[in-house]
């Protein structure tokens, strides 16, 4: 039994962190999507983690042992024990959250799962691995912990009455080069050239847009199983992103609380501030192993993998929500201004905790599993 990042995984994360430290400062985040940064991320292998090696990716997806001879490892470095796909992904998306990265790194990984070994997807996969193209992904509303199934009535109800049915807003679709859609009847399509209508959202870097129905080409049919896996990977990757964002907000807020003097001493001396930030740290530190376990369970196909993914998103949502509320409150009015950098993470957290399944949906999945007729899925390890 071992639950901690290996030196290899730490190197992996550090490589990404150094790149983002150089190229993704708050001013860069405000500028939004950057093709240069995306290509740089491609250069270190981050955009092609799960892309098969024959298409230029790292080939860390399941079914690959990560040791293929042609394997180009992160940052060009050869790792003895590269983490498997989801575990590599969470190391990266935690850094993306920490840096508030605008680009759709998570979507690239999800797209690689969706496209799998489909020959029709080869060009897109090659482009992703290079960081030459971006992709947005629209999955049918589903319970990510249960795998795909019929769309619940609540999903269609989530489209405001004034909007065209069947056109939910898709993240990053406002600018992505490609949009992959899994339809409600299980077709994997690449959206056609129809209009994409931007939709205002709390985080401008999410690039929400509605994608016109119809047109485009069908890449595969009966693709429900892959869509379910993709949704789970999305939830896990988003969870790690949220944990990274929460940690970044906490760090900034601690610095602020040390320096901000009111009533003759730093506000960070006072218990109300201390205990609130201690609670944020608690939430972050206890979410992290939960996310790590979900990634491990995904990579190894454990029986509890679906529930573990749901649990990871619940814990990450909770930690990030607590961080957002607590860090804003400790900052006071300055945190409430758009020009202060904290707002970048606040927006990210508010958006991402609603996306890839909100807490309500994921908690319901855990509840359903725990109260199932035949008992909960066995945890790993045996209990």
Partner 1 sequence: MTDLSFSAQQDAFRREIRDWLARRVPREPLPSMDTADGFRAHQEWERTLYEAGWAVVGWPEEYGGRGVGLDEWLIFEEEYWRAGAPGRVGQNGIFLFAPTVFAFGTDEQRARVLPPMARGEEVWAQGWSEPEAGSDLANLRARAVRDEARGGWRLSGQKTWSSRAAHAHRLFGLFRSDPGSRRHHGLTYFMVDLAAPGVTVRPVRQLDGEAGFAEVFLDDVFVADRDVLGEAGEGWRIAMSTTGSERGLSLRSPGRFLAAADRLLDLCRLRPEQAAPHRDAVADVWMRAEAYRLYTYRTVTRMREGKESGPESSLNKVFWSELDLDLHDIALRVLGAEAERCGPWLDGYLFALAGPIYAGTNEIQRNVIAERLLGLPREPRR
Number of chain positions touching partner 1 (CB under 8 A): 99
CA–centroid distance for 53 within its chain: 22
Of the candidate residues 194, 286, 303, 378, the single one contacting partner 1 (CB under 8 A): 286
Q: Does 270 bind a second copy (CB under 8 A)?
A: yes
Return the residue of 27, 63, 271, 301 that touches partner 1, per CB under 8 A. 271
Q: Which two tokens stand for residue 228?
A: 């379910």
Asked whether 154 and 198 are in contact (CB, 8 A), the reply is no
Binding mask 27-66 for partner 1 (x = CB under 8 A): ----------------------------------------
Residue 184 or 279 with smaller CB distance to a second copy? 279
Q: Compute the chain's Rg from CA coordinates.
A: 20
CB of 268 to a second copy, least distance (A): 12
Query: In terms of CB distance, is 31 or 272 closer to a second copy?
Result: 272
The C-alpha atoms of residue 55 and residue 348 are separated, in whole angstroms, by 31
Dihedral angle over CA of 92, 93, 96, 100, nearest 10: -170
258 binds a second copy (CB under 8 A): no
**Complex with partner 1: residue 91 or 128, whichever CB lies closer:** 91
271 binds a second copy (CB under 8 A): yes
Residue-wise burial string across 316-354, b where 16 or more C-beta atoms lie within 10 A, e elsewhere: bbbbbbbbbebbbebbeeebeeeebbbbbbbbbbbbbbe
Q: Does 268 bind partner 1 (CB under 8 A)?
A: yes
Q: Is 132 a residue that touches partner 1 (CB under 8 A)?
A: no
Q: Which of 31, 202, 272, 370 binds a second copy (CB under 8 A)?
A: 272
Q: Is the separation of the CB atoms in 105 and 41 below 8 Å?
A: yes
Nearest to a second copy of 14, 270 (CB atom): 270
> Nearest Cα to 253, choosing from 243, 236, 267, 264?
267
Binding of partner 1 by 169 (CB under 8 A): yes
- Kindly give, in sequence order, each residue whose CB lies less than 8 Å from that of residue 8, ignoring residues fewer than 6 positions away: 79, 80, 81, 82, 83
Only one of the segments 225-233, 238-246, 269-277, 298-306 lies at the binding site for a second copy (rule: CB under 8 A); that segment is 269-277
Contact set with a second copy (CB under 8 A) = 270-272, 275
């Amino acid at each position: 039994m071992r639950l901690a990042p290996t030196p290899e995984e730490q190197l992996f994360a550090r490589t990404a962190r150094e790149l983002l430290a150089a190229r993704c400062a708050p001013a860069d985040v405000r500028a939004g999507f950057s093709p240069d940064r995306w290509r740089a991320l491609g250069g270190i292998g981050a955009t092609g983690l799960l892309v098969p090696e024959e298409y230029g990716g790292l080939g860390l997806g399941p079914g690959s042992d990560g040791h293929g001879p042609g394997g180009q490892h992160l940052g060009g470095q050869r790792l003895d024990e590269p983490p498997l796909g989801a575990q590599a992904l969470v190391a990266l998306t935690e850094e993306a959250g920490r840096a508030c990265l605008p680009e759709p790194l998570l979507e690239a990984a999800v797209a690689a799962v969706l496209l799998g070994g489909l020959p029709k997807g080869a060009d897109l996969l090659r482009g992703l691995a290079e960081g030459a193209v971006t992709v947005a992904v629209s999955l049918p509303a589903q319970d990510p912990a249960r795998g795909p199934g019929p769309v619940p009535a609540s999903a269609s109800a989530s489209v405001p009455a004034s909007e065209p049915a069947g056109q939910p807003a898709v993240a990053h679709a406002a600018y992505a080069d490609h949009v992959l859609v899994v339809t409600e009847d299980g077709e994997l399509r690449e959206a056609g050239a129809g209009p994409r209508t931007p939709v205002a959202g709390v985080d401008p870097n999410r690039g929400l847009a509605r994608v016109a129905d119809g047109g485009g080409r069908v890449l595969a049919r009966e693709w429900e199983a892959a869509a379910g896996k993709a949704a789970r990977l999305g939830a896990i990757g988003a969870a790690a992103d949220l944990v990274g964002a929460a940690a970044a907000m906490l760090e900034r807020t601690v610095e602020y609380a040390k320096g901000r003097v009111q009533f003759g001493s730093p506000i960070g001396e006072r218990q109300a501030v201390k205990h609130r930030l201690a609670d944020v740290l608690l939430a972050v530190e206890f979410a992290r192993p939960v996310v790590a376990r979900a990634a491990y369970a995904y990579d190894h196909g454990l029986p509890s993998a679906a529930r573990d993914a749901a649990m990871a998103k619940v814990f990450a949502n909770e930690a990030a929500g607590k961080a957002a509320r607590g860090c804003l409150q400790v900052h006071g009015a300055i945190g409430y201004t758009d020009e202060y950098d904290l707002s970048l993470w606040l927006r990210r957290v508010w958006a991402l905790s609603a996306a890839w399944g909100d807490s309500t949906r994921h908690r319901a999945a855990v509840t359903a599993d725990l109260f199932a007729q035949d008992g909960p899925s066995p945890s790993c390890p045996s209990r």
